[in-house]
Structure 1
Amino acid sequence: MVSIALFGAGRIGQVHADNLLSMPDITLSALADPVASEARESLLARSGASLREPEAIFSDPDIDAYVIASPTDTHARFLHLAARTGKPVFCEKPVSLEFAQVVETARIIQHAGSPVMLGFQRRYDPEFMQLRQSIASGEAGRAQHIVMHTRDPAPPPLAYIQSSGGLFRDQAIHDFDMTRYLLDEEIVSVSATGACLIDPAIGAAGDIDTAMITLRASSGRLVQMINARHAAFGYDQRLEVVCERAVFTIRNHPATQIVRADAQGFLTAPPVSNFITRFASAYRAEMKAFHAMIVSGVKPLATMRDGVEAQRLAEAALLSMQENRPVTVTELG
């Protein structure tokens, strides 16, 4: 049996826990979460895990691996502690809201040689994986540009906004990562603009709720990203890749496949209501990949370096918006 410790019993921690518990050779041995809640108690009851302090978990020789799904401001510290053990660790993004700390944490991880997997679950989504294979095969010719749409069904709570690091670091970071994953090359420049058009409270908190971002890859290929905190019809996650001989499109996932047709036309269901439902299969595959990393040393699709580079693009977008100019990614060091 593989013994795993989980840090964080919040929404995404619950998702990871349930996926881990569905695997017959994994036991969730310990949970670290200082906040008493029904969700925490429920997880302890159904998993049989013991509630422990982080330091006690990292010093326990019987723990085989760690899953970090705690608040962002704990990620870097937990990664540093995990690096001392040399054991496999999965960590949700972002590593930190401070880019310098992300880079320093990556350096520590590399020096320690610890196997680390970052939580960019879209890399494990069957549709995104198939799309990457189609682009890489060249079957439709060279990919020329990408257009991405990501809109939440509703703004998150204001308390979340205040601690999230902002739209670029929180929401758009997945799109930055997906750009690198699909094109298999680095982004060299970023142009971003944003505004608060949905909820004035978000603006009062110092953030934006709507952004348009243009990326230029090292080959000259272009990416247009549209990000927002609200879509009137549900979770909006669409993508289009224009190649020389074809266009590939990933559409929204409807809540049901039933379509009604009558004299007034066709009526389809709205998209699923949140990203956890949309990417449920990706989250399952992600934890299976982490299991493979633990037992067989299989390299994950999302590494610490991917976390650094995605956040570098987020920082470049923020700087571009603040200074109203294109930013060369090398400016971020």
Structure 2
Amino acid sequence: MINLAIFGAGRIGCVHAVNAATNPSIRLKYIVDPVASEGRAQLAAKTGAFVADADAVFADKTIAAVVIASSTDTHAELLDRASEAGHAIFCEKPISFDFATVAEVTEKVERSGVACMLGFQRRYDPNFRKVRDRIASGAAGRLEHIVMHSRDPAPPLRSYVERSGGMFRDQAIHDFDMARYLLGEEIVKVYAVGACLIDPEIGAAGDIDTAMVTLTSKSGRFAQMVNCRRAPFGYDQRLEALCSKEVLYVRNRPRDEVVIADVNGFAAAPPMNDFIERFAHAYSEEITAFVEMIETGKKPLADIRDGLEAQRLAEAAIVSMRSGQPVEVDPSWRP
């Protein structure tokens, strides 16, 4: 039985806590969140965990693993403390808003030898996995071009934007990661444009709500990203992979599969409401993979180095957007 502590009782922390509490290999012992909210109390009651602080977790020698799903500004310190304590780690992205800190923490965690998994849940979604498997096996032929659409159902609150790290680090980082994952090689050039076209409050907070990014891989292949903070019909998450033998599509998942037909035509359900609903199965699979990593040493689909490289691309996109020029990226590039 793996004694586990979870940092963060917010939206994604709740998802991981419930999944962990229902996994037969895990005992969720602690929930850590500095905000004494009703939600924190309800989550503790639901999962049977104790509410504690970070010092109590790291003083408890029975704890074998931690999930870091707290606010991004806490990730680096918790990664440091967990690696020093020898705990297996599952950390949500991004690692830090400061890229120098990301690099420093990544190197420290890797030197410690602790197993560390990063929260890129799309890698665990069965549809994205099938696309990856067909490409990796050669069944689809050589991958030549990727197009990804990622649009939230509605703009976030300004208070969220101000602590999110910005659209490229917060939302688009999943697309940067998926481009690397499907292409199977590094990105060498990033060209990004972005603006605030939807919500003036996002612009007032210093961020953008609409962006387009073109990535060029080491072998000269392309990935195009369309990112937006609003889709009028719901959560929009699509992918098209053009290969030499096949074109592979991941479409939006509807809330139900019923199509209603009458004299006015055909009506179908809209897409799922948000990423929590859309990737519910993937989040469950992440916790299963985390257990396998701890018990068998099986490498996760995304580790801390993947977190660093995806954020390197996010930082390059920010530089490109501000300068209006493409940015050449290599393993040593830093903003």
Q: TM-score range by the shorter chain?
A: over 0.9
- Please, which moves more after superposition, 256-265 or 114-123? 256-265
Q: 1:170 matched to which residue of 2? A: 170
Q: CA deviation at 1:86?
A: 1.5
Deviation, structure 1 residue 43: 1.2
The AA in structure 2 aligned to 1:281 is H
Kept in 2: contact 1:89–1:115 (CA 8 A): yes
* In 2, Cα distance between equivalents of 1:285 and 1:36: 29
Q: Give the 5 Å matches for 1:69-80.
A: 69-80=69-80
Pairs within 5 Å for 1:11-22: 11-22=11-22
What pairs up with 1:150-169 in 2 under 5 angstroms?
150-169=150-169
Q: CA deviation at 1:52?
A: 1.5
**With structure 1 as the length reference, what TM-score do the two structures score?**
0.98
Give the equivalent residue in structure 2 for 1:116.
116
Partner in structure 2 of residue 324 of structure 1: 324
Q: Secondary structure at the match of 1:332?
A: coil
Matching of residues 216-255 of structure 1 within 5 Å: 216-255=216-255
Between the aligned partners of 1:54 and 1:22, the Cα distance in structure 2 is: 23
> For 2:285 and 2:217, how far apart are their aligned partners in 1?
29
Unaligned runs of 5+ in 1: none
Is 1:311 the counterpart of 2:307? The answer is no
Mapped partners of 2:279, 2:32: distance in 1: 25
Matched-pair contact (CA < 8 Å) for 1:315–1:332: no
2: CA distance, partners of 1:140 / 1:51: 49
Q: Deviations over 1:183-228 (max 9, x none)?
A: 1110000000001011011001100000000000001000110000
The CA distance in 2 between the partners of 1:46 and 1:197, in whole Å, is 41
Where 2:223 maps in the other structure, the secondary structure is strand
What percent of counterpart residues are identical?
Answer: 58
How many residue pairs get aligned? The number is 333
- Amino acid of the structure 2 residue aligned with 1:297: G
Amino acid across the alignment from 1:21: A
Q: Where do 4+ consecutive residues of structure 1 move more than 6 Å? A: none
Q: Which runs of 5+ in 2 are unaligned?
A: none
Cα pair 1:64 1:88 within 8 Å, conserved: yes
What value does the CA root-mean-square deviation take over the aligned residues? Answer: 1.0
Distance (whole Å) between structure 1 residues aligned to residue 213 and residue 284 of structure 2: 30
State the distance in 1 between where 2:26 and 2:228 align. Answer: 38
CA contact (8 A) 2:198 2:209 kept: yes
Pairing 1:281–2:281 present: yes
Residues 57-80 of structure 1, C-alpha deviation per residue, up to 9 Å, x if partnerless? 112111111011000000000000
Distance 2:329 2:59 in 1: 39
Match for residue 208 of structure 2? Answer: 208
Secondary structure in 1 matching 2:232: coil
SS in 2 for 1:145: strand
2:188 paired residue number? 188
Query: What's the TM-score, normalizing by structure 2?
Result: 0.98
Report the alpha carbon displacement of residue 85 of structure 1 after superposing the two structures with TM.
Answer: 1.4
Alpha-carbon shift at residue 140 of structure 1 (Å): 2.6
